[in-house]
Structure formats: C-alpha cells, structure tokens
Amino acid sequence: MNAVIFFRSKRSAWYTLATLLTIVIFVVLLLQEPWFTGLLLLPLIAIMVSIYFRTHYRIHPVNGLTVTCGLLYKKTFDIQKLQSIRPTTNPLSSPALSVKRLELRFKNKETVMISPVNREEFIELLKSINPDIEVKKQ
C-alpha cells in the first residue's frame, strides 16, 4: 500500500441536528439586542463545527492509523499493535460522530472507538496490513 487512505466518520442525525441548532441559536442571538451576547456561543460553535468537519481516519503506508477529531485531537496508532476490533454502541466520549462504532484494542491496552462510514472496507484494509487482528462479532 503506497497511498494514504481516508475514511470519514459516520455522522448521526443527532449530531448534525445539535450542530445546526447551535448555529441557528447563534444567528438568532446576533439579531437580538444586545447582539454581542451571541458572541458567547462563538467558541462552542467553532469547536462543534471543527469536530463535525474534521473527524476522520487515515491509514498510512507506514502502517499507521491517524485518528483526527476537530482541532483538539489527533493521534497515530500502530496497526501492527492492533489486537482486536469489535462493533460497539458505547456512548462514551470518543472521536466518533455516531454511536455505531468500532472499538479498536491495541496490545499496549490502549483502546479507541471510531465510526468510519464504510466499516467493512475499513476492517478489511486493516486486516490486509495486519492479518493477526481478531475481528469480533456483536
């Protein structure tokens, strides 16, 4: 594999709705008197929009998986140390915009939950790099 392969995060309707609702409230507050009260939501909007558009997963030629979530989270994992993958609906905070997630467990006891759009293709690509990965069913 020579190219970087890019997977977007699957986006649930609830996250899209929450992002749009926050933007609508921001615009409404800007149109009210005093207009500057709407600026209080600006940091929240910046974080939510960056998470919405910048949550993705990249598989690199050097066997690395880089997980990016917004402006605040970016981490690279070694695919050769990936031990198991299992589907989960765990709602804990993670770099995923959907509750239909994959839990990736590494040999160093590290875990990350992600939600790539095409889960099967994502798993097959990881298994082509590291055939020892155990894929658990739900």
pLDDT tens digits for range 88-111: 999 888 999 999 999 999 999 999
Over 80: is that where the pLDDT of 138 sits? no
Res 73: pLDDT: 94
Two tokens at 24?
């609508």
Token pair of 29 as six digits: 């507050």
Residue 7: its H or E element: strand 5-8
For residue 2, is pLDDT > 80? no
Structural domains in the chain plus CATH codes: 5-135 (2.30.29.30)
19-67 per-position pLDDT tens digit: 889 888 888 888 888 878 878 888 888 898 999 999 999 999 787 999 9
Q: ∠ CA 38-42-48 to the nearest 5 degrees?
A: 130
Q: Residue for token digits 């990965």? A: 133
Query: Which residues touch 59 (CB under 8 Å, ≥6 apart)?
Result: 1, 4, 5, 7, 65, 79, 125, 126, 129
What's the pLDDT at 133?
A: 95
Give the chain's end-to-end CA distance (angstroms, integer).
29
- Length of the chain equals 138
- Read off the pLDDT of each residue in 118-123 and give the average, rounded to a whole number: 95
CA dihedral 39, 42, 45, 50 (to 10 degrees): 160
What is the pLDDT, as a whole number, of residue 1?
61
